[in-house]
Amino acid sequence: MRRFTALGALAISAAALVLGLATESSAAPATATAQATAVRAAPVHPSVTTFAVANRASSASVRNGGPAFVSGVVALPVSTVSTVLGLSWAGPVERGTRVWVSVREGQRWGAGQALAVEGSTSNGRVVADPLVARAATAVRFRVETPSGRAPRAVRLVSIASPAATADAVAVGASLTSSVPSTSTRTLLSAAAAPTIAAPTVITRAQWGADETRRTGSPAYSQTLRVGFLHHTTGWTTYSQAEAFQFIRALYDWYTTPVAQGGPGYSDMIYNVLVDRFGRVFEGRAGGLDKAVVANQAVGFDRDTFSVAAMGDFESNPLPADTGDAMISSIAQVMAWKLAPFGRDPRGTATLTSTLGGGSSKYRAGQVATIPVIAAHSDVAATTSPGRSLTARLGQIRDLAATLMGLPKPSPAFSLRAGLLARASYLATAGATVAASTTRPMNWVATITSDCLTRTIRVLRGRQAYSGPLDITWNLRDSLGVAVTPGVFRVTLNGTAVDGGQRAAALVTSVRVTAAGGSVPGPCASTPRTRGSSGVLTSVALGHWAEPTAQSAVLVAGTRMSDLAFQLVAAPLAHARHVPMLVIGTTAVPAVVMADLRSRGVVSVIIVGGASVVSPAVDEQLAANGIAVQRIGGPSLAVVAAAVARQIGAPGARGALFVDPIALPAESALASAAAARTGRPVLIISGRAIPAATSAYLAARSVVGGAVVAPPFVLGDALVRSLGAVRVWSTDYSTLALRLAPAGAAGDRVVLVPVRSRMEASVAAATGRALLPMSSDSPSPSVSAWLEQHAEVEEVAAAVPHALVPDAALASLALALATRAPAPFSLASVAIGRRGASVSATPSVPPVPESFVVTGSGWGHGIGLSQAGAYGQAREGRTGEEIVTHYYTDTAVTPVNDMMELAVALLHRVPSASLRTEPTRHGATGAVRVALAGGVTVVGTSADTFGFRFRRGQVLVTRTTAGVKTLVGVTPWVHITWAGTRAAGPLGRRTTLVNVVGPGDSFSDRQHRYRYGTLDVRAIAATSSSPAGLMVLNNVRLHDEYLYGIAEVQASWPLAALQAQIMASRSYAYAQWRNGLRSKCLCHSDDGGGPYYDQTFLGWVKVDEGSYSAAWRAAVDSTLVSPTEGKAITYRGTVITAYYTDSTGGRTRNNEDVWGDAPEPWARSVDDHWSLDPVNSRSFAQWRPRTRTQQSVAAAFGLPDVVTVGVTSRQSSGTALVMQATSSTGATSTISGAAFRRAMELPSLWMWAITPTPAPTA
């Protein structure tokens, strides 16, 4: 078997390529490159050193789940100056394990990097991705496992892969070794059978592979289905000559034996590597023209190949000068490898995982449907190939398809993240529509309101390449005025950049939710939730009723007979607090699948047997990682009884009995009533009670309920035999109101067309009252009902535009807003027990109008109590005495705190601006704005710099005297200014930078920063966060960061300030130790992003009037030396020192709050100081909170509530279990935490819930 050499192309038959066979040609090669032969490198032998690390183990939990970790610092002797570092440890692979490494090159420590966990070796050791560095002299690391079991026997491998003379020679030589061109003629038609030009390859011999390290023989697949794209991580600024050293370092690591701490692979794990200059390197041996099996994607090595980009493209952009060359080479390799097997680079393929566990997202045997050109992250828990390359995957697929001569797809838009985007009122990050395209698009997004006739805003853009398209709207209209809460329609139109063909319009919605201080929108109380089909309506209503649910009930909806199953399933969906989504008989529609993915759904319930929903749907869901529970049966009655068993025994509450075949519209009203009251829907049919219904009633001892049908459907005798009452009216509106709740209707109802089938059956799952509309306004009886029920705050309109135009919704919204809040009780037919009179109106006992809740404390209650610290300081205790009281068995210890923290100031904003200002005294110094790639400008106080997110980059402008100029477009910007440690030639003049985001003003007192440097970085969108700009202040923890902490007032006693500073230093130290967070690129978030760490105001805190010197002095008083500050430690390890505003007399155990493993230093201790109003003016006892009867009843799921009390408390005195009693005698219990959330209370220290009398006539 012949391997590639530097002699040139081999003649390989197309058939051999298709079968992946090794062929031997006796003929001389078609071409020969003597020059390439001349630069054939001698093998370069590495120096491998293994350190058995004497690491420090800790069981200290962090906030998100209680992991354990080991950490250490290893100084590397000069003789082991490294180009690759690797970590391994004993134990099984744990999903969620995190590895963090920082390297010192020379005397400077680099930024920490997170490394992915590759998997386990043959002897059970776990291996992380290697880190490639230029010349490492020391390394510090942290390995963290989620289980709480600390990693054991950690080994650090240092590999010195020296440079070779041939590296520099090779750069100047013509390395033209090539591989055979590939014809698709064997699999495609002759008309579509182009010859794919083979890439020029630097062979293993040319880059100096030490073949003595390779073991075993190559393995081959019979086909290729998918090409995976990876990045190697590590070094990204290597030269052309150093690239040879880079690839040898990787090869040496992967072939380091397990006994020496390495992964012990037989060869390089990638088939092909591409350096930052676009050069292609041969990876695994065995023949690039063959389907060689590599070790690159756990469980998916067969029938795939891999291309690895050399460098870290998660933290770094593609090279500005050679990035396009890298993309072109990757696309050429992909096309050349995929063409013989007829794979469309823009299509998808199915693979079956052969190995689960570790970093794999798929268990063994699970089918994965992924792109033909896929990211490694599509199948593994990794960021590979990094955000910079992931953003270019669409371009790579398009280029590969073009090389293969495939026709361009029709231009089209699709949604990536469900139907409805969401944002809160005045959210600085705006709202992002996550779309995708099949071709690069010139796009126009037109934003309108369902309740306004004018266009709100028009956004335009141009896409560089196909794939993800994130359109961010800043929630402002064309005049720059913030829009009010409501639902806004986004219509996306576009034409292909490369040809001009028009794409079909895509219509989606943005829902702006109310927030503090927001004003009602024009249609906020009457959102339209009806789509153009039952499928779209179910998705819209699901987002309206259950926006955060992570499961769903699925029902068919393509045939009229399917509606009956929807009515049966609706109460189950409401009981589980999940949406009911409509699917096809044989497949899940794309919009529903997108909604399931956006919710993170991992399991669903399908209602209906195989004749209703095909087993193919189960297979489709399983292939997408969603488990299926099916509730089926031979008949509708059997299915209804099975669903009822899942809901639970209703007992004396009975059931709702319907005939959905004879009375589909009326049965939908009954289904909604059943869902709202926690009852099942059971079937009556053919003037009889089916056997399945009778069997269920007998088995569960169910008696009572209501028959929603006239006598000719089920006679009076049979109704009485059920112990039920008849609820019926030939007038649809009257029937709807009879089934609507008596008294409290809840805060939301749904409008449906009169005698509707599709809309009402889907809306039933919301558990809200259904009110019919027959024209552009409700009937008089429905209007009167809405007028009398002031508790109804929102009416979802599941009605078509043709029936109820936008103007009618706006009128209804206005009518709702202007109602008099008069109490009203509507008598309705009882849904009662056996023997109840059909015409009887129940006697409803008086219930309280509201409840008054009193209590103490504010916050989570763990660790230092700020109010308590203030009280203890007033009594004369020292700062160290205070913190060791609140953190059990801890000590105050000096720690080296000279590390820099990246503090997030603005989170994923569309734009930001900056200017320099003086402090209270003196002039302003200069500011330097440096763009990645080398462009640097120096500004003065006369300049304002603007930063805007644009297509994954930062667009930088400079405005001087009203004239704006473009500075450049870049992935990130680094900003320094006079008077800081990083000022350099800018000088020592004390200067502030004023940084503002959307909605801020330079004249505001906040957002001024004196110390450190600033970074402005473009960050890609995630499934839960929009793309935008991150603005980060890089400051030294020792003093610069702490000077800006604004958690307590500087006027407090010194000991209280010192306690806060030591807690803040410890908390920040722990955050730094955990490494940069990918969602914000930060260690600490001042509250504007996905985390709320510590309030950081920068210069404002140091400039706090007459007390400014006091805060600075307090910080300085906790410094032990120029490089050390006082921190709180437990057995030598700095703790994550949580703190809270105040408590109800005792602090809380950490596991009682977050459910994680108990921390020995976070125990409940005395905090009686918080109950002194002198120490806690607002929360020694709260201002009494009044909550309505309706909100309390809804929290407990009861029709009304007479009494509420705490039945169980934790050791801290916080409420653990709450119980409410209804006027019917029914009781319900919920957790104290759930009650606090529902009632929006300051804390769980609730002392009394007192009913207030209902109004009398």
What is the mean pLDDT of the segment spanning 954-982?
93
Task: Answer yes or no: are the C-beta atoms of 420 and 540 closer than 8 Å.
Answer: yes
In a domain, 98, yes or no: yes
Across 581-601, average pLDDT: 85
Whole-number CA gyration radius for the chain: 34
Reading the block at residue 351, the tokens are 């693979």
Q: Is 57 left (phi over 0), alpha (psi -120 to 50) or beta?
A: beta
Q: Are residues 173 and 122 in the same domain?
A: no
List, in order, residues 6 or more apart from 835 with CB less than 8 Å away: 720, 723
Asked whether residue 394 falls in the same domain as residue 452, the answer is no
The domain boundary, picked from 366, 382, 403, lies at 403
| The amino acid at 1162 | A
Same domain for 456 and 541: no
Instruction: Give the whole-angstrom CA distance, residue 497 versus residue 513.
Output: 35
Q: Do 949 and 1027 touch, CB atoms closer than 8 A?
A: yes
Distance in angstroms (rounded) separating the CA atoms of residues 279 and 330: 9
For residue 108, what pLDDT is reported? 74
Segment 893-927, tens digit of pLDDT: 999 999 999 999 998 999 999 999 988 767 789 99
- Structural tokens at position 637: 């009655």
Q: Quick one: 221 and 133 in the same domain? A: no
In a shared domain, residues 182 and 149: no
DSSP conformation class of 1040: I
Q: Tell me whether strands 1227-1231 and 1215-1221 are parallel, antiparallel or unpaired.
A: antiparallel
| One domain for residues 1012 and 878 | yes
Which of 403, 423, 444 lies at the terminal end of a domain, its last residue? 403
Q: Concatenated DSSP letters for 560-616?
A: TTHHHHHHHHHHHHHHTT--EEEE-SSS--HHHHHHHHHHT--EEEEES-TTTS-HH
1168 found inside a domain: no
Residue 813, amino acid: A
Q: What is the pLDDT of residues 1044-1083, one digit of tens each?
A: 888 888 889 999 999 999 999 999 999 999 888 888 888 8
Distance CA 255, CA 266 (A): 6
842 burial (CB, 10 Å; 0-12 / 13-18 / 19+) is: middle
Lowest mean pLDDT among 156-165, 628-637, 810-819, 855-864: 810-819
CA distance 154 to 87: 7
Contact indicator for 435, 469 with CB cutoff of 8 Å: yes
175 assigned to some structural domain: yes
**Residue 375, C-beta contacts closer than 8 angstroms, at least 6 positions apart:** 228, 229, 384, 385, 389, 390, 393
Check residue 340 and report its DSSP letter.
G
Residues 6+ apart with CB under 8 A from 169: 39
Cβ proximity of 277 and 326 under 8 Å:
yes
State how far the alpha carbon of 372 is from the alpha carbons of 145, 197, 351, in Å: 33, 20, 10
Residue 845: inside a domain, yes or no?
no
What own/partner pairs with CB < 8 Å and gap ≥ 24 does 533-537 have? 533/582, 534/582, 534/758, 534/762, 535/581, 535/582, 535/583, 535/589, 535/591, 535/592, 536/419, 536/591, 537/582, 537/758, 537/759, 537/762, 537/763, 537/798
Helix, strand, coil percentages for the chain (3-state, nearest 5): 25, 30, 45
What is the pLDDT, as a whole number, of residue 815?
64
Q: Indicate which CATH number applies to the domain containing 445.
A: 2.60.40.4070
Q: Is residue 431 part of a domain?
A: yes
Omega of the bond leading into 1199 within 30 degrees of 0 (cis): no
- Where does residue 1007 fall: left (phi above 0), alpha (psi -120 to 50 degrees), or beta otherwise? left
Q: 965 in helix, strand or coil?
A: strand
pLDDT at position 204 is 92
* Neighbouring C-beta atoms of residue 70, cutoff 10 Å: 20
CB 538 within 8 Å of CB 556 = no
pLDDT band (50, 70, 90) for residue 314 = confident
Report the domain count for the chain. Answer: 6
Q: Which of 839, 823, 831, 765 is nearest to 798 (CA)?
A: 765
The answer, yes or no, to whether residue 23 has pLDDT greater than 60, is no
Asked if 660 and 778 sit in the same domain, the reply is yes
- Let me know if residue 304 belongs to a domain: yes
Query: Which one is predicted more confidently, 788 or 1?
Result: 788
Band (602; pLDDT cuts 50, 70, 90): confident
Q: Nearest 10 degrees: CA dihedral of 1172, 1173, 1175, 1177?
A: 150
Residues 189 and 133 in one domain: no
Could you identify the residue written with the tokens 């990246």?
902
* The predicted structure's pLDDT at residue 16: 30
Q: What is the CATH number for 32?
A: 3.40.80.10
Q: Are 1148 and 1139 in contact (CB under 8 A)?
A: no
CATH number at residue 136: 2.60.120
Distance CA 1013, CA 835 (A): 79
Residue 1257 lies in a domain: no
Check: pTM over 0.85? Answer yes or no: no
pLDDT of res. 467: 81
Average pLDDT over residues 273-291: 93
What is the side-by-side strand order in the sheet with 627-631? 580-583, 552-556, 603-607, 627-631
| Integer CA distances (angstroms), 102 to 128, 646, 1080, in order | 14, 53, 19
Residues 253, 288, single domain; the answer is: yes
Give the integer Cα–Cα distance in Å for 910 and 1180. 41
User: Running DSSP on this structure, what letter comes out for residue 253?
Assistant: H
Instruction: Tell me, rounded to whole angstroms, the distance of Cα 709 from its chain centroid.
Output: 47
User: Do 53 and 37 reside in the same domain of the chain?
Assistant: no
Residue 548 and residue 562 in one domain: yes
Residue 864 has pLDDT above 60, yes or no: yes
pLDDT 10s digits, 691-720: 888 888 888 777 788 899 988 888 888 888
Q: DSSP string of 290-302?
A: S-B--S-STT--T
> What's the chain's average pLDDT?
80
Q: Which residue has the tokens 């389907």?
A: 291
3-state secondary structure of 860: coil
Containing domain of residue 429, as a range? 413-513
Find the range with the poorest average confidence among 126-130, 367-371, 835-839, 968-972: 835-839
Residue written as token pair 């109003």: 1173
pLDDT number for residue 531: 58
Backbone φ, ψ for residue 375 (5° rounding): -80, 145
- The total of other beta-carbon atoms located within 10 Å of residue 479's CB is 6
CA distance 1074 to 67: 11
Burial class (CB in 10 A: 0-12, 13-18, 19+), 754: middle
In this predicted model, what pLDDT tens digit does every residue of 94-144 receive, in sequence order? 766 778 788 887 777 776 677 777 666 556 678 888 887 777 788 888 787
CA-closest candidate to residue 20, choices 292, 400, 328: 292
The four Cα atoms 369, 372, 377, 383 give a dihedral, to 10 degrees, of: -160
| Alpha-carbon span 194 to 209, nearest angstrom | 34
Residue 687 identity: R
DSSP 78-105: GGG-EEEEEEEEES---TT-EEEEEEEE
The residue count for the chain: 1257
Instruction: Write the pLDDT tens digit of every residue in 1147-1182.
Output: 999 999 888 888 999 999 988 888 888 888 788 888
CB-based contacts of 498, cutoff 8 Å, min separation 6: 408, 439, 440
Question: Residues 297-308: what's their mean pLDDT?
Answer: 89
pLDDT at 89 over 60: yes
Domain identity same for 582 and 639: yes
| Residue 184 and residue 19 in contact, taking contact as beta carbons nearer than 8 Å | no
Tokens representing 263? 């992964």
pLDDT on residue 756: 65
Tell me which H or E stretch contains 545.
Answer: helix 534-545
What does the DSSP assignment read for 650-704?
A: -GGG-EEEE-TTT-HHHHHHHHHHHHHHT--EEE-BTTB--HHHHHHHHHHT---
Output the CA torsion 415→420→425→430 (10° steps): 0
* Residue 973 included in any domain: yes
Percent of the chain with pLDDT over 90: 28
Instruction: Identify the domain boundary among 108, 140, 160.
Output: 160
Phi, psi dihedral angles at 857 (to 5 degrees): 80, 160
